[in-house]
Structure 1
């Protein structure tokens, strides 16, 4: 039985409503955005039209249409290409209305839209024209470069779109879809495309490096954003994967990456890596916002596959090294929280002297401190108690033996753990 992500059902619901907004499927590479929209379009082929900026002209099927039969689409993926396919979608929408008794709009989906120069301005003009003419056509945009998508949306399409985030796969999804055990999920992470390779770790590691990490950096960042020092960006990413779950100041990063000369550059690159859902730098929780921003970031991967693929530990060796396995477990919790936090929920860590708490969730007046322990026997967390004395309104959660089981914690979104 084929597994479908929850976002697919949500998008279907939105597409069943009257046309009000552009629907945006936004998220990192290889998490199922294209599969979601293709499943929806394929369910009623005459009611949908899907095109991808990544497709080669010879690989695109245009179906039956007077326009497609009379002319060929422009070879260059630019304004003319987008306008051609938008008009093709309008024609198909008109044909759909003539042949159906359903009170449902046509669906036009464009994948990797951010790769078209000035895409948001073009879409704005076409969308506004459709609204003025009452064209009953839903538009779904997909993109794997969140930073560039957000820039275009905020500049040209403000008030015209609704976002549906598609994040990395969680433990419950990987278990249901591929039968991964908890330990396998902690090590191999949440990339569905690599799940069938985990029995051959060499192939799995090569796939993650060549088909996931490299395109994320080479295509989604270096080709789309002007980077002064690409090698520095790559080194920062690799450093973050090696030190995931550890506090690392920008000064220490400079010491580890000799080429770096300016902390501002590293901070900017870390922001880019966070926007592409690869690596985040968590700030220390404090009462004052300035102190939060000035704290040394604690690096965390968005998917533990990124960490495991760049390390020398095999699955068996990682489990045997309790210290390293503890970092993997903590990183899996951090990745889960990063991927399931909504826009209003902030994620931090906390440290005061020798006392620390792995994660702090904050949303309005709600506050939760989370400590992760991978030891097989219950361990007292002094850091949680010190944090609770300083912030008595906070909820305390110990993940691991003696507290919330890791599998249970990874199966519920971040907001479920807020007090």
Structure 2
């Protein structure tokens, strides 16, 4: 049996309910969104349609029958453009299958899946009309939409589909998942990161690096960002990603970053591009912890890759060389901790850093009521912890947590989500 992420059970639970909301499965490229949906619906009556004819030029349907499960494929050879009219026809076909299924088996809802929904122009308005019509008719058809985060979250969900959807956020794979699925060691996860598609390639590092850059990074930027949002300086966006990946774990004021980029423009442009990279699941700029949100936004960002494969592939270090360079490995470990926090955080939880010269804290995690300062140590000795002490002194009621040398074992830390460390610290 193939490995199943926890998202599969979450989706199964949703699909057992009476259809109330459109289910959105969103996340970065190559984190297994399509696979987890297929694993969920494989034994359920469904129609699965890929909007991208290049990616999967056929429609698959499974409907229950008196003799069991009927499985058939319909070739999509009409060459019709993927527009609103095509979506309406496809949706109507799913309705017909749903109605036929209900005549045979009224106990189990029908599931309609649309993959790569973002490729249809102005899809949110069309989906809204079709979904509302189904609700008016009382049609018991679940609708599951898959696509990349930037478009789904920024272009449609908060506008046309407000109140009509629930989001399942598929993030980068955790250490526990990569260990169970691919037998990754801790150090392998720190360096090679959490992309399941690249796991079989790690014994050939050049091939692994080329795969990450050409099959993950390049499409994420050129397709998921440049074709979804207005970017006046695409070359600048790409330079910013590369620089941010190389300097992950370091605090760099955007004013200083401009000096290392060609045609950098102003700091507002760079901040906007950093937001786009974050929404694509690539690179974030963590802000300095402040009680006031306005002051936090004005701080210099701390670059943070959301998958350490992005940092390793952007630098010339091999796996062996990275482990031998204590300073670089320390930044990689810190970036691994930061990526884990970002990927496991819930919507009401926040991640930042803190610095009041000469004191610094690697990460501050908080929700409305709780706050924990985290320091990461990967060297042979603990060293000074003045930053955490000073933070706790200035922010009464804060918890502190040492991760790594002298503190919580890194394997243990990576085995639990952010919420656990707010509660346990």
Q: Aligning the two structures, in what range does the TM-score lie when normalised by the shorter sequence?
A: over 0.9
* Counterpart for residue 278 of structure 1: 282
Of 94, 98, 101, the match for 1:96: 101
Q: Which moved more, 1:397-406 or 1:56-65?
A: 56-65
Q: In 1, distance between residues paired with 2:319 and 2:255?
A: 32
Deviation of 1:95 after TM superposition, in Å, equals 1.5
Asked whether the 8 Å contact 2:50–2:57 carries over to 1, the reply is no
Confirm or deny that 1:172 pairs with 2:172: no
* Counterpart for residue 340 of structure 2: 336
Deviation of 1:263 after TM superposition, in Å, equals 0.8
Confirm or deny that 1:322 pairs with 2:326: yes
Bigger proportion of residues as strand:
2
CA deviations on 1:243-302 (whole Å, 9 max, x unpaired) are 000001010110111311211110110010111111000110123322211110000000
Q: In 2, distance between residues paired with 1:216 and 1:170?
A: 20
CA deviations on 1:159-200 (whole Å, 9 max, x unpaired) are 100111110000000000000000000000000000010000
Deviation of 1:220 after TM superposition, in Å, equals 0.3
* Counterpart for residue 19 of structure 1: 19
Taking the TM superposition and a 5 Å limit, the aligned residue runs for 1:101-112 are 103-112=107-116
Deviation of 1:58 after TM superposition, in Å, equals 7.9
Taking the TM superposition and a 5 Å limit, the aligned residue runs for 1:188-337 are 188-337=192-341
Q: In 1, distance between residues paired with 2:40 and 2:195?
A: 21
Uncovered stretches (5+) of structure 2, i.e. residues with no partner: 64-72
Q: In 1, distance between residues paired with 2:55 and 2:190?
A: 40
Asked whether the 8 Å contact 2:26–2:147 carries over to 1, the reply is yes
Q: In 2, distance between residues paired with 1:203 and 1:4?
A: 26
Confirm or deny that 1:55 pairs with 2:59: no
Q: In 1, distance between residues paired with 2:218 and 2:279?
A: 16
Q: In 1, distance between residues paired with 2:258 and 2:381?
A: 38
Distance 1:138 1:386, change over 3 A: same
Q: In 2, distance between residues paired with 1:265 and 1:63?
A: 45
Q: In 1, distance between residues paired with 2:209 and 2:10?
A: 33
Asked whether the 8 Å contact 1:284–1:348 carries over to 2, the reply is yes
Q: In 2, distance between residues paired with 1:57 and 1:299?
A: 33
Distance 1:175 1:70, change over 3 A: closer
Partner secondary structure for residue 224 of structure 2: helix
Taking the TM superposition and a 5 Å limit, the aligned residue runs for 1:81-92 are 81-92=86-97
* Counterpart for residue 379 of structure 1: 383
Q: In 2, distance between residues paired with 1:64 and 1:364?
A: 45
Asked whether the 8 Å contact 1:351–1:357 carries over to 2, the reply is yes
* Counterpart for residue 80 of structure 1: 85
Partner secondary structure for residue 40 of structure 2: helix
Distance 1:72 1:196, change over 3 A: closer
Asked whether the 8 Å contact 2:25–2:168 carries over to 1, the reply is yes
Q: TM-score, normalised by structure 1?
A: 0.95
Over aligned residues, Cα RMSD in angstroms? 1.8
Tell me the matched-pair count: 414
Q: In 2, distance between residues paired with 1:391 and 1:63?
A: 57
Q: In 2, distance between residues paired with 1:356 and 1:63?
A: 56
* Counterpart for residue 369 of structure 1: 373
Deviation of 1:155 after TM superposition, in Å, equals 1.2
CA deviations on 1:51-107 (whole Å, 9 max, x unpaired) are 111234983045599xx9899766201111111111111111112112225x22100
Uncovered stretches (5+) of structure 1, i.e. residues with no partner: none
Distance 1:57 1:379, change over 3 A: closer
CA deviations on 1:24-63 (whole Å, 9 max, x unpaired) are 101111001100111223223xx10111112349830455
CA deviations on 1:131-184 (whole Å, 9 max, x unpaired) are 111111000011113344332011101110011111000000000000000000
* Counterpart for residue 163 of structure 1: 167
* Counterpart for residue 398 of structure 2: 394
Asked whether the 8 Å contact 2:248–2:311 carries over to 1, the reply is yes
Distance 1:261 1:150, change over 3 A: closer
Of 392, 398, 421, the match for 1:417: 421
4+ residue segments displaced more than 6 Å: 68-72
Taking the TM superposition and a 5 Å limit, the aligned residue runs for 1:32-71 are 32-44=32-44, 47-56=45-54, 59-62=57-60
Asked whether the 8 Å contact 2:364–2:373 carries over to 1, the reply is yes
Distance 1:302 1:413, change over 3 A: same
Deviation of 1:377 after TM superposition, in Å, equals 2.9
Q: TM-score, normalised by structure 2?
A: 0.94
